Amino acid sequence: MENLIKNSRNLLKSVKIKKKRYLYAEIDFSQKMISIIGQRGVGKTTMLLQYLNERKDKDKQIYISLDDVFFLENSLKKTVETLHYDYGIRIFCIDEVHKYKNWNQELKNIYDLLPDIKILFSGSSSLDIIYGAYDLSRRVIVYNLYGLSFREFLEFKTNKSFNKIKLEDLLKKYQRHSVRLSSEINILKLFNEYLEYGYYPYFLEGAGQVFETKLKNVLDKTIYEDIASLNNIKTENIYIFKRIMNFLASVPPGKININKLASVLGIAFETAELYVDILRKIALIRYLLKDKRGYKLIRKSEKVFLDNTNLAIYWGNKLGLKKNIGMLRELFIVNQVQNSDKSIFATEKKGDFFIKLNKKRYTFEIGGKSKDFSQISKTENSFLVIDDIEIAGKGKIPLYLFGFLY
């Protein structure tokens, strides 16, 4: 137990990042049990440590990670009880809960049996975490942490502060926002950097090869550890997930033909469908949906993307593919809108996407400088979303502005 306490205190001293992620201000830390879920590498651990570092009663709190070898032989429930009764610990930040088999049952028991402690726990993006939380539904508040928005990247990169822009405000005042932002920083240069390496906070440790190595390590751990352990996938089948990622990275975003994918991979249709949906749950891919209801999620998806532009560029480079600029533009806006908890849908005819807002439908056509209004002419509440422009024109919104939604 002494080693757990010592390791926690040493780790807290090592935290150097002062700037907080967007989610930190949204968390109600007065709650007794809080869960933060998200992809590997988006900053969950740092957020837990920042919370502990801000508190004055240092001797009454602890950070523990359930991937520690200690928990191969020791139960979480017994450990928390001992730390509480024998060492006076009242605040527990518990990381990597998905690495511990009975985490949800034991946390439920801890909650019920120890009324004067507080627990914050974090884990994988997989819906298994949320399914687990259902057993704790009356006890836990669940928060999702996504990768950095373009706005957050700018804050880390420039040490300046930039306010979030609500979608309603963006659609009304996009010209004013673009003039202000383009006058403050070299917005397009930084935007291109963000697309390549700005989604994950560890870009602060280095870009280029350093970033690629860290991203590779995160992906390998996600696929070979998290997917395998959370879904009881046989070791010999894990490589299929990388083959699916290879397939998705090498074709234009579109509907997945599961029959074709299954044939290419040499697996059953049902297995291919299951594996693709696991990749979505673990946040390595994302769906752009049609505005339909009542049938299986994967079958109402209009397009399937790798999760973010950093991931798409990395995987494309790994396969020796040229950058698909059109795909990156679409992925950026889908990623940023969905991460801001807004719904975005594929259009059936005119435009690329639409968003429903205050009972109105807003249509967006995405493109470069030469894109004109021909494809959305006579479409009510429609806009061009244009890459490579700093300042908006009438009906033309710079693509980068959608990176300020969260």
For 386, the enclosing helix (H) or strand (E) is strand 382-386
Is residue 179 domain-shared with residue 132, that is, in the same domain?
Answer: no
Is residue 140 domain-shared with residue 72, that is, in the same domain?
Answer: yes
More confident residue, 219 or 132: 219
Task: Tell whether the torsion through CA atoms of 129, 133, 134 and 140 is positive or negative.
Answer: negative
How do residues 271-314 score in pLDDT, each as one tens digit? 999 999 999 999 999 999 877 654 455 556 678 999 999 999 99
- Answer whether 38's CB lies under 8 Å from 21's CB: no
Is residue 238 domain-shared with residue 305, that is, in the same domain?
Answer: yes
Cα 258 from Cα 255, distance rounded (Å): 9
The pLDDT > 90 percentage for the chain reads 79
Its pTM stands at 0.92
Could you tell me the two tokens for 158? 């420039």
Is residue 211 domain-shared with residue 89, that is, in the same domain?
Answer: no
| Residue that is last in its domain, among 144, 178, 194 | 144
Is residue 170 domain-shared with residue 132, that is, in the same domain?
Answer: no
Mean pLDDT of the chain: 92
**Sorting pLDDT into bands at 50, 70 and 90, what band is 131?**
low
Is residue 171 domain-shared with residue 307, that is, in the same domain?
Answer: yes
Is residue 232 domain-shared with residue 375, that is, in the same domain?
Answer: yes
Is residue 132 domain-shared with residue 261, that is, in the same domain?
Answer: no
Could you tell me the two tokens for 264? 């290419």
Instruction: Report the candidate in 288, 207, 303 with the shortest Cα–Cα distance to residue 252.
Output: 303
Q: How many CB atoms lie within 10 A of CB 373?
A: 14
- Answer whether 36's CB lies under 8 Å from 143's CB: yes
How do residues 86-110 score in pLDDT, each as one tens digit? 999 999 999 999 889 889 999 999 9
pLDDT at 265 over 80: yes
In degrees and rounded to multiples of 5, residue 139 shows phi and psi of -115, -30
The pLDDT > 70 percentage for the chain reads 96
How do residues 23-35 score in pLDDT, each as one tens digit? 999 999 999 999 9
| Residue that is last in its domain, among 127, 144, 161 | 144
Is residue 177 domain-shared with residue 212, that is, in the same domain?
Answer: yes
| Residue that is last in its domain, among 144, 173, 205 | 144
Q: List, in order, residues 6 or more apart from 59 with CB less than 8 Å away.
A: 88
Q: Return contacts of 51-56, CB within 8 angstroms, 24+ apart.
A: 51/24, 51/93, 51/120, 52/12, 52/91, 52/93, 53/12, 53/15, 55/91
How do residues 328-346 score in pLDDT, each as one tens digit? 999 999 999 999 999 999 9
Give the residue numbers spanning the domain of 122.
Answer: 2-144
How do residues 195-242 score in pLDDT, each as one tens digit? 999 999 999 999 899 999 999 999 999 999 888 877 888 888 999 999
In the sheet that holds 301-306, the strands lie side by side as: 301-306, 285-289, 345-346, 353-357, 360-367, 382-386, 396-398
Is residue 90 domain-shared with residue 225, that is, in the same domain?
Answer: no
pLDDT at 72: 93
pLDDT at 125 over 90: no
Q: E strands, 184-323, where?
A: 285-289, 301-306
